Amino acid sequence: MHGYPCLSILSQLAFIIPTYNDQAARVSSFAPSPPLVTTNRPPPPHFSSQSLFGRPFSTTTTPTATTPTSSSLGSSQETNASPTSSIRIGIVGGGIGGVSVAHALAKRLATTTFATTTNNNNNNNIGKTEIVVLEGDVQPVEPGQPPLWTAATARNANSIVPGAAMHVFSRPAVLAQVLQDTAVDWYRQQCTTLQGMVQNHPTIQKWVSSAGGANGTETSAATMFDTPPPYFACHLLRCVGPSATHDERMSFVRYLTQFLYATVWLGPAAADERGRVMCQLAKANRNLYLESVNANATLQAAVGHSQGFLSIHRSLAKAQNAVTEAHEHGEEADLLEWEQAVEAEPRLANIPIKDNKLHVVRRGNDYTASCESFIHNWIQESSAMGVQYLSGKVDGLQVVDSTTTASGGSNGKKKYRVKATDGSVQEFDLLVLASGVTTPLLASLLGVGNYCPTYPLRGFSLTFFAPVDDTKKVKEQENLLHQPFSIDAMYCTSVSTRMARLAGFGEFVGYRDKSASVPSLGPTVLSRYARSVFPDALHVRTEAALACFRPASPDDLPLVGEVPSMPGLFLHTGHGTLGWTTGLATGDCLAQAVVDHLEGRSSQEGAFTLADESTIERSTLSPSRFIPRAKRKSLV
Ligand SMILES: Cc1cc2nc3c(=O)[nH]c(=O)nc-3n(C[C@H](O)[C@H](O)[C@H](O)COP(=O)(O)OP(=O)(O)OC[C@H]3O[C@@H](n4cnc5c(N)ncnc54)[C@H](O)[C@@H]3O)c2cc1C
């Protein structure tokens, strides 16, 4: 889910629905209680059955895993046998952030022969490196069975949208938007509550109608399309109030301070430049994605690959602006006539906006694909290259002296000691924090919270399924929706013959475990749009909307690189609403930084080389950009 909320307010929305063409008929009805089946996806990968860390390591039991193919990736048994001869790299977080780093690192290390050592006093070749990904949210399937990786956040992400990547939230207009949306959100919540009271109490209902009241129709389904729903909501009390822990509160304060700095102090020109960098990352990401799916037809089918995206605007000026912006960034974009848009995606005709006042931009080079299925595939691939995927939720981090000299004394080297909630412990020479929204809290455990001012941004996704019989009407390998599209900052996508999904909203409501009780318009609005665009999906339940949290960066750019005050600690997070759009590219950047560190070069100077051979200054993405310049110099 990406993009800005629409600001324009067009009043009349009733849309004269054109007759369906033949293609539209194929998706005409939905099952009353759809089974959660996808027709063409591989099963998610399993984690190691001996997966609780602290236990003796075993090589991964991922179904397609083979023994490590690369001589530079040592097996776990070898590690235990000779701990000093192997560099252990721990990656906390098995989402797109962690898996993309593991995959890129495994590929790079497979072809790297280290010239120097960072792990002992001799200049021997290291020869072996072990990569371990620790994931805290894997689901046990049945007793005795290895747990499944579920891709909690990534499963929401479908579209790779370089065209939208240029949009950055850290602008003065968005600051105003957050305030306005928060007020509108509050007002509409009150309306909804009052409506509920009216409907539930016949006496009040009688009073309202006798006084000429509309019985709650002001917020009823049809008219609610007249204005775009609010996108943002900020529940300040949840972010800094008593329900937040000290570290959670501090992470909000850091986020807000840096957001204001980027937005107000650095100003619009810097925001434009950040938009350019986002776009560059998105293009490189697209290259990596296409390289993978073009080389593997099974993967391409599994991810529900499709090309092209329709972005719908409520004013012509905004649509024209979107085209100009895309062209400025070298992306394809053209304005469609409404009839052309409906031909491209017949379901657009169902949107109940009055007077056809919608303007559609087609972006030919955006792609839609299931991030979840893609990441499952990269887990399988990297497992085959020797990466170990272990289950365990990290709740303790410590820097310790590694006592590896022959006399048992300290050799002056540091290690990262990682503790899981079950009390088990592992040690790593290098540590990558890629745990999504919890990364700032883990960074705080090591005293480097200032380097990670990211904050959770809640969003929602609602998935609905076509009945089994209807699948027969759909041509094989075609997605349920012809063309994915966005409207009012909600993304409607499909990556299989059976499903479609609406996703959107950006809410500051604190951290996940305490925010379930914070109300949102999101689920109601998503289900309202879903019922309109998919009129037969009457079973769509508001409660089925899934809340998910994205790691938002205060200046929109992801955090990629080593923490200068803590050598060997790397951050890979802050992808916000665009983790699928940029995460593969930044994962490769982080792998470059890690390899540089291992080879004794500076991981922070110079530029990253992206998959399309373009370069980005490392300082642009470095976590040290949040530290005042004067202090920064003394740390590097
Ligand atoms: C509704 C919605 C729709 C979206 N749609 C799109 C889209 O269309 N396109 C796009 O580009 N992006 C989209 N995104 C954004 C994208 O999903 C995120 O940017 C991306 O998932 C972030 O990846 P991550 O690996 O950094 O974090 P996550 O995906 O959250 O992964 C972090 C992982 O770390 C694990 N973890 C956390 N704490 C610990 C711990 N203490 N110990 C061990 N493990 C831990 C978590 O269990 C999790 O698996 C969407 C997001 C949402 C919410």
Cβ-based neighbours of 439, under 8 Å, separated by 6 or more: 93, 433, 452, 454, 551, 571, 573, 574
The atom number, within ligand 1, closest to the CA of 581 reads 11
Is residue 383 pLDDT above 70, yes or no? Answer: yes
Find the 353 Cα to ligand 1 centroid distance in Å.
33
Each residue's pLDDT tens digit, 502-518: 999 999 999 999 999 99
Find the 541 Cα to ligand 1 centroid distance in Å.
24
Each residue's pLDDT tens digit, 192-209: 777 777 777 777 666 656
Confidence (pLDDT) at 206: 67
Closest C-alpha residue for ligand 1 atom 2: 156
Q: For residue 34, how far is the Cα from the chain centroid?
A: 26
Confidence (pLDDT) at 291: 96
Question: How far is the CA of 230 from the CAs of 130, 171, 186, in angstroms?
Answer: 47, 17, 10
Each residue's pLDDT tens digit, 474-531: 565 588 898 999 999 999 999 988 889 999 999 999 999 999 999 999 999 999 999 9
Q: Which of 150, 279, 559, 577 to mutate to test the pocket of ligand 1 (most atoms within 8 A of CB)?
A: 577
Residue 397 Cβ inside 6 Å of ligand 1? The answer reads no
Each residue's pLDDT tens digit, 103-134: 999 999 987 655 433 433 333 334 589 999 99
Cα R_g (the chain), whole angstroms: 25
CA proximity to 45, closest of 304, 372, 434, 498: 372
Confidence (pLDDT) at 222: 44
Cβ-based neighbours of 5, under 8 Å, separated by 6 or more: 177, 181, 228, 229, 230, 231, 232, 488, 489
The atom number, within ligand 1, closest to the CA of 438 reads 38
Residue 590 Cβ inside 6 Å of ligand 1? The answer reads no
The atom number, within ligand 1, closest to the CA of 393 reads 42
Confidence (pLDDT) at 405: 58
Find the 341 Cα to ligand 1 centroid distance in Å.
32
Each residue's pLDDT tens digit, 255-290: 999 999 999 999 999 999 999 999 999 999 999 999
Highest mean pLDDT among 145-154, 201-210, 562-571: 562-571
The atom number, within ligand 1, closest to the CA of 582 reads 11
Find the 94 Cα to ligand 1 centroid distance in Å.
9
CA proximity to 388, closest of 113, 588, 129: 129
